Amino acid sequence: MKTGIIQDDLFLQHDTGTFHPERKERLIAIREGMRNYPHKDRLLPLKPRLASEAELQLIHPPAYIRNIEATAGRPSTQLDPDTVASAMSYEVARYAVGGLLTLIDALFAGEVNNGFAFVRPPGHHAEPDRPMGFCLFGNAAIGAAYALHKYKLRKVLVIDFDVHHGNGTQEAFYSRSDVLYVSSHQFPLYPGTGDFSETGSGAGAGFTVNLPLPARTGDVTYYRLYEEVVAPIATSYRPDFILVSAGYDAHADDPLAGMEVTAGGFRDLSQVLRKLAEKLCNGRIVFLLEGGYHLKALQESVIESLNVLTGQPNQVPLSKPDAVFEAVLARARQALGSYWKF
């Protein structure tokens, strides 16, 4: 088994400043955590490439791409109150997309069994025509569209466990059925979208699954949510490929949210997703880094997910009585029961 890895110093050149939460030290912390990783023999480092204009246009119109390109060479451009671009950000963002596409290509060529793209800037808040929430291009959305187009897939499942709702990914596929978008996130919280009632429209009705959670939700609720709600929906959908927007800001120590997930909780969640991939699509699953802003928590949580991808044994936790889960389950069934059984 080989787990493909996208990891490159060029992603440090997206300069958001010293005090911005989404800063280069995030990737440095992950790299330091992997320095003595005991299962390096199961990792296959891959070199990212520059995403083409046509690939970006799978999600973003040309005018939007030109707006981001216009930031190139400028010391700092404030794109919205939270989102900044530096002189190299446009190029780095294209490599972030291209890194994910490189990993997808390696997966479908049989060179790797699964993978993790450690890239920045993140992408799940970037709408087709608007940068926001630290994001320039919709990395996950482009990756899903690319896999559908290049490999003639019927269905892609995008799972987003970042603590913030991935409004950009949702918007990209809201009226489509060839991508099932599933998001668990703290609610209410930035960006304010992702309530139960947002389930898709037209041909996409039922193919957006939002699981908003209250603050202080922890490991037990997350595990049961993925085991008892996400897994049955995914099994009914039967995707050809699973792409995970892996944000680790639901960790108890993260400064931008109020959840109580531990690194072990992310391990258990990752295990559910990997088993789903093995059951439904020959193990084809790729993790893509999104949020996570406490450096130590990010480092430890990523390593736990990586352990799952590289095949380290993990004891399945026991389900426990959980009032939060039962409340979310009832609301989810009310919103989605006409589309999915769980």
pLDDT of residue 1 exceeding 90, the answer is no
Report pLDDT for 313.
86
Each residue's pLDDT tens digit, 197-242: 999 999 999 999 999 999 999 999 999 999 999 999 999 999 999 9
Question: What rounded mean pLDDT belongs to the chain?
Answer: 97
Q: Which domains does the chain have, with CATH numbers?
A: 3-336 (3.40.800.20)
Spatial distance between the Cα atoms of 96 and 121, rounded to a whole number of angstroms: 7
Kindly name the residue from 14, 125, 164, 294 that is annotated as catalytic.
Answer: 125
Q: How confident is the model at residue 314 (pLDDT cuts 50, 70, 90)?
A: confident
Report pLDDT for 317.
85
> Is residue 125 among the annotated active site residues?
yes
Partners of 159 in the β-ladder: 182, 244
pTM exceeds 0.85 for this model: yes
Q: How confident is the model at residue 295 (pLDDT cuts 50, 70, 90)?
A: very high
The identity of residue 18, as a single letter, is: T
Q: How confident is the model at residue 15 (pLDDT cuts 50, 70, 90)?
A: very high
Burial 13-51 (b: 16+ CB within 10 A, else e): bbbbeeeebbbbebbebbeebbeeeeeeebbeebebeeb
Spatial distance between the Cα atoms of 322 and 135, rounded to a whole number of angstroms: 34
Each residue's pLDDT tens digit, 243-258: 999 999 999 999 999 9
| Span 25-45, average pLDDT | 97
Each residue's pLDDT tens digit, 189-199: 999 999 999 99
Report pLDDT for 316.
81
